[in-house]
Amino acid sequence: MSPLTMLAAVFTPGTPKPTISMESIAVPIPSRNEVLLKGEVVDVGEDVSKEYYSDGSIWAVHGPNACGHCGQCRRGHDNRCVGNRLQFGLGRGGGYAEYIAVPASSLVKIPEGVPVEIAAVVTDAVLTPYHALKTLGNVRASDRVLVIGLGGLGLNGIQVAKSLGGFVVGADINTSKFDLAKQLGVDQCIDSTDQKAMDALGGFDVVVDFVGINATFQLGIKMLKSGGRHISVGLSGKEFSFNSKALLIQEGSFQVAYWGTSWELREVLDLVAAGKIKPQVEVKPLSEVIQCLEALREGKVLARQVVVP
Protein backbone atom coordinates (compact mmCIF):
# COMPACT_ATOMS: atom_id res chain seq x y z
CA MET A 1 0.00 0.00 0.00
CA SER A 2 1.53 3.32 -1.08
CA PRO A 3 1.37 6.35 1.24
CA LEU A 4 -1.03 9.17 0.33
CA THR A 5 1.58 11.91 0.04
CA MET A 6 5.14 12.16 -1.23
CA LEU A 7 8.05 14.60 -1.43
CA ALA A 8 8.37 16.24 -4.86
CA ALA A 9 10.00 19.24 -6.50
CA VAL A 10 7.19 21.43 -7.86
CA PHE A 11 7.87 23.79 -10.76
CA THR A 12 5.69 26.90 -10.94
CA PRO A 13 5.84 29.11 -14.05
CA GLY A 14 5.73 32.83 -13.37
CA THR A 15 7.30 36.24 -13.79
CA PRO A 16 9.87 37.63 -13.40
CA LYS A 17 11.06 34.05 -13.18
CA PRO A 18 9.63 30.60 -12.48
CA THR A 19 10.12 28.97 -9.10
CA ILE A 20 10.82 25.45 -7.92
CA SER A 21 10.07 24.29 -4.39
CA MET A 22 10.09 21.06 -2.38
CA GLU A 23 6.54 20.17 -1.36
CA SER A 24 4.47 17.33 0.03
CA ILE A 25 1.94 16.45 -2.69
CA ALA A 26 -0.50 13.62 -3.38
CA VAL A 27 0.97 10.36 -4.69
CA PRO A 28 -0.36 10.03 -8.27
CA ILE A 29 -3.02 7.40 -8.95
CA PRO A 30 -2.22 5.35 -12.07
CA SER A 31 -4.92 5.58 -14.76
CA ARG A 32 -6.15 2.53 -16.72
CA ASN A 33 -2.99 1.85 -18.76
CA GLU A 34 -0.46 3.16 -16.23
CA VAL A 35 1.72 1.85 -13.42
CA LEU A 36 2.89 3.61 -10.27
CA LEU A 37 6.66 3.37 -10.12
CA LYS A 38 9.20 3.67 -7.34
CA GLY A 39 12.06 1.82 -9.01
CA GLU A 40 9.81 -1.23 -9.06
CA VAL A 41 6.11 -1.22 -9.93
CA VAL A 42 4.10 -0.68 -6.72
CA ASP A 43 0.59 -0.28 -8.18
CA VAL A 44 -1.13 -0.72 -11.55
CA GLY A 45 -4.15 0.68 -13.42
CA GLU A 46 -7.12 -1.56 -14.14
CA ASP A 47 -5.95 -2.53 -17.67
CA VAL A 48 -2.43 -3.54 -16.53
CA SER A 49 -1.51 -7.02 -15.28
CA LYS A 50 -0.33 -6.76 -11.68
CA GLU A 51 1.12 -10.27 -11.89
CA TYR A 52 3.41 -9.36 -14.82
CA TYR A 53 5.10 -6.67 -12.74
CA SER A 54 5.15 -8.53 -9.42
CA ASP A 55 8.66 -10.05 -9.65
CA GLY A 56 10.39 -7.01 -8.11
CA SER A 57 12.17 -5.98 -11.34
CA ILE A 58 13.48 -2.41 -11.51
CA TRP A 59 12.30 -0.37 -14.49
CA ALA A 60 13.56 2.60 -16.46
CA VAL A 61 11.19 5.00 -18.21
CA HIS A 62 11.47 5.91 -21.90
CA GLY A 63 11.04 9.66 -21.55
CA PRO A 64 9.26 10.69 -24.79
CA ASN A 65 6.04 8.99 -23.53
CA ALA A 66 5.37 7.64 -27.04
CA CYS A 67 1.79 6.77 -28.05
CA GLY A 68 2.82 3.60 -29.92
CA HIS A 69 0.39 4.06 -32.82
CA CYS A 70 1.18 7.32 -34.67
CA GLY A 71 3.09 7.17 -37.98
CA GLN A 72 6.46 7.88 -36.34
CA CYS A 73 5.96 5.27 -33.60
CA ARG A 74 4.89 2.64 -36.17
CA ARG A 75 8.08 3.29 -38.17
CA GLY A 76 10.19 2.71 -35.05
CA HIS A 77 10.91 6.40 -34.39
CA ASP A 78 9.14 6.57 -31.03
CA ASN A 79 11.49 9.40 -29.96
CA ARG A 80 9.68 11.53 -32.59
CA CYS A 81 6.13 10.59 -31.47
CA VAL A 82 3.52 13.04 -32.77
CA GLY A 83 0.74 11.63 -30.60
CA ASN A 84 0.72 14.86 -28.58
CA ARG A 85 1.25 13.11 -25.25
CA LEU A 86 2.81 15.19 -22.50
CA GLN A 87 6.37 14.21 -21.62
CA PHE A 88 7.35 13.34 -18.06
CA GLY A 89 8.43 16.45 -16.22
CA LEU A 90 7.22 18.61 -19.14
CA GLY A 91 3.53 19.21 -18.53
CA ARG A 92 2.96 16.14 -16.35
CA GLY A 93 4.64 14.77 -13.22
CA GLY A 94 8.31 13.89 -13.69
CA GLY A 95 11.11 12.17 -11.85
CA TYR A 96 11.89 14.71 -9.11
CA ALA A 97 9.48 12.85 -6.82
CA GLU A 98 9.28 9.68 -4.74
CA TYR A 99 6.70 8.12 -7.08
CA ILE A 100 5.77 8.60 -10.74
CA ALA A 101 2.79 7.31 -12.72
CA VAL A 102 3.68 6.30 -16.29
CA PRO A 103 2.04 4.28 -19.07
CA ALA A 104 3.19 0.66 -18.82
CA SER A 105 4.24 0.91 -22.49
CA SER A 106 6.99 3.38 -21.51
CA LEU A 107 8.78 0.91 -19.22
CA VAL A 108 12.09 -0.71 -20.13
CA LYS A 109 13.48 -3.37 -17.79
CA ILE A 110 16.87 -2.53 -16.28
CA PRO A 111 19.25 -5.46 -16.83
CA GLU A 112 20.91 -7.15 -13.86
CA GLY A 113 24.15 -5.51 -12.80
CA VAL A 114 23.11 -1.96 -13.72
CA PRO A 115 22.61 0.12 -10.53
CA VAL A 116 19.40 2.14 -10.57
CA GLU A 117 21.24 5.48 -10.26
CA ILE A 118 23.29 4.60 -13.37
CA ALA A 119 20.17 3.52 -15.28
CA ALA A 120 18.60 6.89 -14.42
CA VAL A 121 21.38 8.66 -16.31
CA VAL A 122 21.28 6.21 -19.20
CA THR A 123 17.67 7.16 -20.07
CA ASP A 124 18.81 10.55 -21.35
CA ALA A 125 22.50 11.41 -20.97
CA VAL A 126 23.67 8.14 -22.58
CA LEU A 127 20.66 7.38 -24.79
CA THR A 128 20.87 10.74 -26.58
CA PRO A 129 24.58 10.43 -27.55
CA TYR A 130 23.94 6.79 -28.53
CA HIS A 131 21.11 7.82 -30.89
CA ALA A 132 23.24 10.65 -32.33
CA LEU A 133 26.38 8.58 -32.90
CA LYS A 134 25.08 5.11 -33.77
CA THR A 135 21.81 5.77 -35.57
CA LEU A 136 22.24 9.23 -37.09
CA GLY A 137 26.05 9.34 -37.29
CA ASN A 138 26.29 5.68 -38.36
CA VAL A 139 29.73 5.48 -36.72
CA ARG A 140 31.69 2.44 -37.92
CA ALA A 141 35.00 0.93 -36.86
CA SER A 142 37.93 3.24 -37.69
CA ASP A 143 35.68 6.24 -38.43
CA ARG A 144 37.18 9.50 -37.20
CA VAL A 145 34.79 11.07 -34.69
CA LEU A 146 35.00 14.58 -33.23
CA VAL A 147 33.05 15.19 -30.00
CA ILE A 148 32.59 18.93 -29.34
CA GLY A 149 31.78 19.75 -25.70
CA LEU A 150 32.96 17.45 -22.90
CA GLY A 151 30.10 17.97 -20.43
CA GLY A 152 27.78 15.27 -19.10
CA LEU A 153 26.57 14.13 -22.53
CA GLY A 154 29.89 14.62 -24.31
CA LEU A 155 31.76 12.38 -21.86
CA ASN A 156 29.20 9.65 -22.51
CA GLY A 157 29.44 10.41 -26.24
CA ILE A 158 33.15 9.60 -26.12
CA GLN A 159 32.43 6.19 -24.60
CA VAL A 160 29.64 5.46 -27.09
CA ALA A 161 31.89 6.37 -30.04
CA LYS A 162 34.69 4.18 -28.65
CA SER A 163 32.26 1.26 -28.17
CA LEU A 164 31.39 1.61 -31.88
CA GLY A 165 35.08 1.38 -32.82
CA GLY A 166 35.75 5.00 -33.74
CA PHE A 167 38.95 7.01 -33.37
CA VAL A 168 37.67 9.71 -31.05
CA VAL A 169 38.89 13.27 -30.49
CA GLY A 170 37.29 15.40 -27.76
CA ALA A 171 37.27 19.20 -28.11
CA ASP A 172 36.40 21.75 -25.44
CA ILE A 173 37.40 25.27 -24.39
CA ASN A 174 37.80 23.99 -20.80
CA THR A 175 40.96 21.88 -20.69
CA SER A 176 40.29 20.80 -17.06
CA LYS A 177 37.89 18.20 -18.47
CA PHE A 178 40.59 16.43 -20.47
CA ASP A 179 41.87 14.17 -17.66
CA LEU A 180 38.44 12.60 -17.10
CA ALA A 181 37.89 12.30 -20.87
CA LYS A 182 41.18 10.40 -21.14
CA GLN A 183 40.20 8.08 -18.29
CA LEU A 184 37.01 7.33 -20.25
CA GLY A 185 38.95 6.32 -23.34
CA VAL A 186 39.19 9.34 -25.65
CA ASP A 187 42.10 8.99 -28.11
CA GLN A 188 43.00 12.69 -28.10
CA CYS A 189 41.78 15.93 -26.51
CA ILE A 190 42.16 19.36 -28.02
CA ASP A 191 41.53 22.96 -26.96
CA SER A 192 38.91 24.05 -29.49
CA THR A 193 40.14 27.66 -29.34
CA ASP A 194 43.58 26.57 -30.64
CA GLN A 195 42.92 27.11 -34.33
CA LYS A 196 46.32 25.87 -35.50
CA ALA A 197 45.96 22.61 -33.59
CA MET A 198 42.40 22.16 -34.88
CA ASP A 199 43.55 22.71 -38.48
CA ALA A 200 46.29 20.10 -38.01
CA LEU A 201 43.75 17.43 -37.02
CA GLY A 202 42.42 16.85 -40.55
CA GLY A 203 38.81 15.95 -41.37
CA PHE A 204 36.28 13.78 -39.52
CA ASP A 205 33.66 11.30 -40.72
CA VAL A 206 31.32 12.28 -37.89
CA VAL A 207 31.16 15.42 -35.76
CA VAL A 208 28.76 15.54 -32.82
CA ASP A 209 28.18 18.97 -31.32
CA PHE A 210 27.03 18.79 -27.69
CA VAL A 211 27.18 22.58 -27.23
CA GLY A 212 24.86 23.83 -29.97
CA ILE A 213 25.89 27.45 -30.44
CA ASN A 214 26.76 29.09 -33.74
CA ALA A 215 30.51 28.96 -33.06
CA THR A 216 30.55 25.19 -32.40
CA PHE A 217 28.19 24.57 -35.32
CA GLN A 218 30.55 26.38 -37.70
CA LEU A 219 33.55 24.62 -36.20
CA GLY A 220 31.87 21.24 -36.71
CA ILE A 221 30.98 21.94 -40.35
CA LYS A 222 34.56 23.06 -41.01
CA MET A 223 36.00 19.87 -39.49
CA LEU A 224 33.95 17.47 -41.67
CA LYS A 225 35.69 15.47 -44.34
CA SER A 226 34.11 14.48 -47.65
CA GLY A 227 30.73 12.82 -47.06
CA GLY A 228 30.91 13.61 -43.34
CA ARG A 229 27.93 13.85 -40.98
CA HIS A 230 27.46 16.71 -38.54
CA ILE A 231 25.00 15.89 -35.75
CA SER A 232 23.82 18.60 -33.39
CA VAL A 233 22.68 17.43 -29.95
CA GLY A 234 22.92 20.48 -27.72
CA LEU A 235 20.68 23.27 -28.98
CA SER A 236 20.80 26.77 -27.57
CA GLY A 237 17.73 27.96 -29.48
CA LYS A 238 19.94 30.53 -31.25
CA GLU A 239 20.22 30.85 -35.03
CA PHE A 240 23.01 29.07 -36.92
CA SER A 241 24.58 30.43 -40.09
CA PHE A 242 27.11 28.97 -42.48
CA ASN A 243 28.28 29.13 -46.07
CA SER A 244 26.39 26.35 -47.88
CA LYS A 245 29.43 25.68 -50.08
CA ALA A 246 31.13 24.22 -47.00
CA LEU A 247 28.67 21.30 -47.03
CA LEU A 248 27.80 21.30 -50.75
CA ILE A 249 31.23 20.70 -52.22
CA GLN A 250 31.94 17.67 -50.05
CA GLU A 251 28.33 16.44 -49.91
CA GLY A 252 28.26 16.65 -46.15
CA SER A 253 25.09 16.44 -44.07
CA PHE A 254 23.68 18.17 -41.02
CA GLN A 255 21.10 16.63 -38.71
CA VAL A 256 19.63 17.40 -35.30
CA ALA A 257 19.33 14.57 -32.76
CA TYR A 258 16.41 14.31 -30.38
CA TRP A 259 16.63 11.88 -27.43
CA GLY A 260 16.48 8.20 -28.55
CA THR A 261 14.09 5.34 -29.24
CA SER A 262 12.90 2.74 -26.73
CA TRP A 263 14.83 0.08 -28.69
CA GLU A 264 18.01 2.11 -28.42
CA LEU A 265 17.37 2.47 -24.67
CA ARG A 266 17.33 -1.35 -24.37
CA GLU A 267 20.55 -1.61 -26.42
CA VAL A 268 22.41 1.03 -24.47
CA LEU A 269 21.36 -0.43 -21.10
CA ASP A 270 22.85 -3.74 -22.32
CA LEU A 271 26.11 -1.95 -23.25
CA VAL A 272 26.26 -0.47 -19.75
CA ALA A 273 25.55 -3.91 -18.23
CA ALA A 274 28.45 -5.29 -20.31
CA GLY A 275 30.76 -2.59 -18.90
CA LYS A 276 31.37 -0.95 -22.30
CA ILE A 277 29.99 2.42 -21.16
CA LYS A 278 30.54 3.70 -17.61
CA PRO A 279 28.40 6.80 -16.96
CA GLN A 280 29.85 9.10 -14.30
CA VAL A 281 27.34 10.15 -11.63
CA GLU A 282 27.14 12.06 -8.36
CA VAL A 283 24.32 10.69 -6.19
CA LYS A 284 22.37 13.16 -4.03
CA PRO A 285 19.18 12.89 -1.93
CA LEU A 286 15.92 14.04 -3.56
CA SER A 287 15.57 16.70 -0.85
CA GLU A 288 18.64 18.47 -2.36
CA VAL A 289 17.35 18.66 -5.93
CA ILE A 290 17.12 22.48 -5.88
CA GLN A 291 20.78 22.77 -4.82
CA CYS A 292 21.66 20.26 -7.57
CA LEU A 293 19.96 22.44 -10.19
CA GLU A 294 21.82 25.51 -8.86
CA ALA A 295 25.15 23.67 -9.14
CA LEU A 296 24.27 22.69 -12.72
CA ARG A 297 23.36 26.29 -13.61
CA GLU A 298 26.67 27.51 -12.16
CA GLY A 299 28.66 25.00 -14.22
CA LYS A 300 29.92 23.15 -11.12
CA VAL A 301 28.84 19.68 -12.27
CA LEU A 302 31.47 17.72 -14.17
CA ALA A 303 29.31 14.78 -15.28
CA ARG A 304 25.71 14.08 -14.17
CA GLN A 305 23.87 14.30 -10.85
CA VAL A 306 21.22 11.78 -9.80
CA VAL A 307 18.72 12.38 -7.00
CA VAL A 308 17.33 9.40 -5.10
CA PRO A 309 14.33 9.35 -2.71
Choice from 35, 48, 60, 81 touching Zn ion (CB under 5 A) = 81
Q: Counting beta carbons within 10 angstroms of the beta carbon of residue 288, is it exposed (0 to 12), middle (13 to 18) or buried (19 or more)?
A: middle
CA distance 203 to 199: 9
CA distance 304 to 293: 11
Which residue, 67 or 116, has its beta carbon nearer to Zn ion? 67
Choice from 33, 39, 40, 83 touching Zn ion (CB under 5 A) = 83
- Residue 247 touches Zn ion, criterion: CB under 5 A: no
Pick the piece of the chain touching Zn ion (CB under 5 A) from 11-19, 31-39, 77-85, 195-203.
Answer: 77-85
CA distance 92 to 261: 20
- Residue 106 touches Zn ion, criterion: CB under 5 A: no
Q: Residue 100 to residues 7, 25, 31, 174: CA-CA distances in angstroms?
A: 11, 12, 12, 37
- Residue 79 touches Zn ion, criterion: CB under 5 A: no
Pick the piece of the chain touching Zn ion (CB under 5 A) from 63-71, 135-143, 208-216, 252-260.
Answer: 63-71
Which residue, 105 or 188, has its beta carbon nearer to Zn ion? 105
- Residue 201 touches Zn ion, criterion: CB under 5 A: no
Pick the piece of the chain touching Zn ion (CB under 5 A) from 81-89, 151-159, 209-217, 250-258.
Answer: 81-89
Count residues contacting Zn ion (CB under 5 A)?
A: 6
CA-nearest of 11, 53, 22, 55 to 36 is 53
Q: Residue 117 to residues 60, 85, 238: CA-CA distances in angstroms?
A: 10, 26, 33
Choice from 7, 10, 42, 67 touching Zn ion (CB under 5 A) = 67
Phi, psi at residue 262, to the nearest 5°? -65, -30
Which residue, 104 or 146, has its beta carbon nearer to Zn ion? 104
- Residues binding Zn ion (CB under 5 A): 66-67, 70, 73, 81, 83
